[in-house]
Each structure stands twice: as C-alpha cells, then as structure tokens.
Structure 1
C-alpha cells in the first residue's frame, strides 16, 4: 500500500504540471462562467433524461449539467446533498433507487457503498487516460478529480487581530481561535471524514482523539456539508474553515477575502468520484453511463475551469486551472484508502460520540 501511495503522489505531480435542474438552497442560481476555450463537443443526440444525486457545489453543478445536456441532448434532474447524506439516501432507497448516478464526494464513501451493494460496476473507456493510481481496482466507482485539504482563512479577521495564518494543525489549537473555527461533521461530510481518517493515520488513534478533543474547544459549530465552512469564512462568521482547497480557492476567485493555507505538517488528499447506483432509475442506464463517460472526458474535465473550480482533473489530457500548488510543494499524509473506506461508518460515529455537537450539525 505504501508503494501505491508513492505512485499516486508521483502521478499527482505529473498532473499538476500538465496542463439541468438542481434542487437546494441556491439551486436556481446560474454559475459564473469564464471565457474558456473547451475541446470541441460531440454533436447533440436525442436523449431522454437522467436523475443524479450530487455532492458537488450548487455554484458548479449547472456548468457541468448544462454542458452535458448541450452535448448529448440528455436532460438532467439533480438533487444536491452532502456526501454523507447522498450515501444515506442511496442506502435508504436500496430497494427502489430514485437516482441513477451519484456524483462527487470522496472515494472513501464510494468504497463503503460498493461493499454495501449500492453501486453498479462500470468501467468507462475514458479510463485509458487516467493513471492507475486513481482508479478503483474493482471498477465500481470512477475517479473524476483530486482534492487537497487546506485552511480557508478570513483575511479581514487576521488583519484586525494581528494574528499569523495557521501553518500546521496544532496552530488551530491556539486559544485565540476559540469559537472561530468551523468544520463539518465527518458523519455527513466527505471533507471532514477525509481529515479524520488522515489524522488518525498520521497520529494514531489515541493521539488523534486527543487532538480532536482539543480542537473541539475552538470549534464554533459543526456543519452538515463540507462546503458550509467556506460560507462561514466568506461571511466573517468564522476565522478559519477546514475545507477542500478547491472550495476555498473558489471563494477567493469570487472576490471574497479568503486566504488559503495548506498544513505544512501534512495535508490530506481525496479522490473525488462518481458511480452508477445499483438498480438505478428505470430506462436511465445508458444515459447514466454516457454521463460518466462525459464527466471523465477531456471536455467534461475542462469544465472544471469554466466552473471556476480548482479541482485537479484526473484525465491526463485535460488542462488544469491556474493558481494550483506547485508540484512537490505539499507535504501529503500517506493514507490507506482501503482502510479508510472500510471503517468510514465506525470511525465517523466514534467522532460524533466523542464530539457530541457533531451529532447535530447545522446546515
């Protein structure tokens, strides 16, 4: 496993060098779009419809869904949920799935869902352009992006309080941050579960639980979604949000006073994924496969740029957004993703037992 992680990190460095209807609180918003030259789209086809559950941000989803419909003629209906909620809904609908595709969120959740019989295996032909290190060896889920954990910091708060930005995990334990840090509950958020699993592996369980108990003293509140801490930082309700860097970077690109820092003593990576639900909506199987093919294609991957997302594409042919970390600049915690996926429910529940407020996260 250690060797596979090293191969993964080498692949990440190469990658960095390379160049609808949505339900939810802001579901009717249209994502801001930049002038970007994308690969030529295939001719539209007559297509039917496709039902999707997604953990991707509402600001981004319309870009991908509208482009997919334009290219294929397939109309989409998409419900936005946190990664944990998405998987819980898929489990609750096991006997009669209402969605054909699960989109976004850490592969840790997808590994657990596959072992629970919630996913239908599918191997897209587009995987030929993806490094082996990113793929599911069992073929149940499809990698679509790489994410990196960072600290989203409100610039105005740090200037007013004359405080340095946090550079390592222990910096978050400073009493100056009491009630000024926001993170999501790992039981409902792939972002925070990624943090939890990585720090348990870095520190060992005993020391990790001591760390999270100390951090809990500075947490203002736990959120349901991994996106919500960014919103708290944007509004000035929090000084620091523990987030995926692509979410923090998006806020900075939108003009909010957000500075992004990466923990120098070890950050965590995720493989973002999508998958077919087992026994998905009747008549949508081919459209669901077409969507996964499209999302993994150069065309779909470069829509990350148009959506002002700073996700790292997994397709080696796709360009990446400007302003991403330089290769080798990040100290990455080596993780056993198979272990993280297998213990996801157990570890998340223990966190919420120890940090009681995480049992009732806010929206």
Structure 2
C-alpha cells in the first residue's frame, strides 16, 4: 500500500510538472530597443505573465529589418517590439504581420496606430533627431555652434561630425528621409553630398554619435535628443541643438509576426506594449509616448523640439526605403565603420 501511495504521489508530481511545462511559453522577440532597457521591460511584463519567457534578439534597426525580411518564408520571431514604424510598414506590405487590436488601443494617439482595422502594428514612443555638440571639444577646435542642418556643411566642421549609417540605424534613416522631405529630392542629395565632406565616419548605431560626442571623441554627433539629454544629465558638456529647418522623427512600434505558433502569448505582449505601465517605462528613455498626457518632462530635453518635428510622411519613407538606402550606400558608404 505504501509503495502504491508513493507511486501515485510521484505520478501526480510528474503530471503537475508536465502541466506546468505545458502552460509555460517562450516568445522570440526581435527588437531594436536599447539593450540596457530590455531587462526591466521583461521583468515588468513577467509580473503579470510569469509563465511567458521573452527571448530577446536585439540589434540595430537596419539589421533587424533585414533579418526579418530574409526570414520571410521561414519566420523565426513571434513578435517585433520596438522597431521603427517605417520598418513595420515595409513588413506589412510584405504580408508578414498578423493584424491585432490590443486592449487599450483606444487611448493611443491615432498617429501611433496603423490605419487598418484591425491594425497591423501599434506605436509605443517616438525619438527625435538632434545635434549633440560638445562645447569643450568644439572650443578646442575653434568651432562655432551650428544653428541649422545646412550650417553643418560649413568647412569649419570638416572631419568634426559623426552620424549614423541609415542602412543599419533607424536614426540614420530618419535623418536621410527627413532631409529628402525637407529639401526635396535633388536638394536633399546635394545637402548630403556637402555634409559628407565634413563627416569623419558613419556609425552603425543611432545613439553612438552622441555617446562619442559626450565622451569627447568628436565635437559633433548627429543623433537623437533623448540620448543627448541623458548624456548631459550624466555630466557631459553637451549642448543639444534643434536645427532651425525642423527635425525628423520616428516611432518605435510593435507587431505580431504572421504564422506565430504562440498567438495568445504574443497578443498578451502586444497588450502590455500599449499599457500605462509600459508607457511610463518608455518615458524613461523617450520624451514622446503614444498615450497623450503620460510623458513627464525629461531633464535637459531641448525646448521647442516637439514643435520642430516635421510632418513626417512615413508611407513615403517606407515605400522608398530600398531606393534611398541603395543611393546613400553608393554615394557615402566609404566612410562607414566596419560591420
């Protein structure tokens, strides 16, 4: 009898373990979010959903976008979280996204929601272009602060500017696509030809030019405003300049990859991506989030930046992305960092 009871108990424990394992799920999530932010997103999500494990695959925007497109016929990701909106528009046009209307979507600013019903993607936050200007290094080099994008073509800045490569960086692509919108196609390429003369190198990260400027390795980094504010708050001698012509911007967005075997778990993650808890966390890294009125002021975030955001044509940028990137690479890739 005792042996039978032990066997029954063992069987019950094994059955419970099997059931628990069956309930646990793993999601492969492709992301371009800053690596330092991912653990706290997962930790907060797991407070509500402890049985869903997030396996992050993190790289820069261009690399993640290319990886997803290469895997189109054999998708490896379940969810894309925190990829540029223009990239998600491209994935949508390829039929790679599973439409889903997450709980709480009605609270989002409409420009952060795909136009289809149900939407193919939903936005999270936005990052905005800016110039990080190291006042100490600039003074050593005898430079005067620029006030506009076109000022950066002045010969005084020769070899003193770093910006992101748009083929690998979402920040780089928003810069290039916004210049083409602001200055027109011919004017935009003429501007970039002149700017290229002053570029020391192109990085494969959108935040790196500002980090390098903050560290004193270069006087001027074309990057995004929050990165500059964060570095300035840490004591870097930076001025964050908002060019007078206006600034490009891009949103981070989330979507479910069509064909995922973990549909319900993926939907829970997308629900979380537009929740109030998530928005408050985004605000630690971004001054603009998808739910209006949530974002608190960010220390050292430059005044007037939100007003300077251009009326960005994301559809145009997405539809012309491949052509823009090919032309940019042909003209300027010789100064890019090794991959």
Structure 1 position 168 matched with structure 2 position 148: yes
Secondary structure in structure 1 of the residue aligned to 2:56:
strand
Query: Gaps (5+ residues) in structure 2?
Result: 1-22
**Aligned counterpart in structure 1 of residue 33 of structure 2, from 34, 53, 56:** 56
Structure 1 position 310 matched with structure 2 position 310: no
Match in the other structure for 1:65 = 42
Give the superposition deviation at 1:230.
2.3
- Check 1:147–1:166 CA distance in 2 against 1; reply closer, same or farther (3 A cut): same
Q: How many residues were matched structurally?
A: 313
Match in the other structure for 1:20 = none
TM-score w.r.t. length of structure 2: 0.86
Superposed CA deviations along residues 103-159 of structure 1, whole A, max 9, x for unmatched, are: 223211111111012222222122110122321102111110022110112232123
Secondary structure in structure 2 of the residue aligned to 1:60:
helix
Give the superposition deviation at 1:162.
4.5
TM-score w.r.t. length of structure 1: 0.80
Match in the other structure for 1:181 = 161
- Check 1:329–1:162 CA distance in 2 against 1; reply closer, same or farther (3 A cut): farther
- Check 1:309–1:361 CA distance in 2 against 1; reply closer, same or farther (3 A cut): same
- Check 1:206–1:118 CA distance in 2 against 1; reply closer, same or farther (3 A cut): same
Match in the other structure for 1:346 = 323
Cα distance in 2 for residues equivalent to 1:326 and 1:215: 25
Flag the structure with larger Rg: 2
Secondary structure in structure 2 of the residue aligned to 1:137:
coil
- Check 1:321–1:97 CA distance in 2 against 1; reply closer, same or farther (3 A cut): farther
The answer to which structure, 1 or 2, has the higher relative contact order (CA under 8 A, 6+ apart) is 1
> Structure 2 matches for 1:1-363, cutoff 5 A?
47-73=24-50, 74-138=52-116, 139-280=119-260, 282=261, 284-305=262-283, 308-316=284-292, 318-323=294-299, 324-326=301-303, 330-357=307-334, 360-362=336-338
Q: Does the 8 Å CA contact 1:185/1:224 hold for their aligned counterparts? A: yes
Cα distance in 1 for residues equivalent to 2:203 and 2:59: 13
Secondary structure in structure 2 of the residue aligned to 1:270:
strand
Secondary structure in structure 2 of the residue aligned to 1:232:
helix
- Structure having the higher helix fraction is 2
Match in the other structure for 2:16 = none
Secondary structure in structure 1 of the residue aligned to 2:104:
helix
Q: Does the 8 Å CA contact 1:249/1:310 hold for their aligned counterparts? A: no
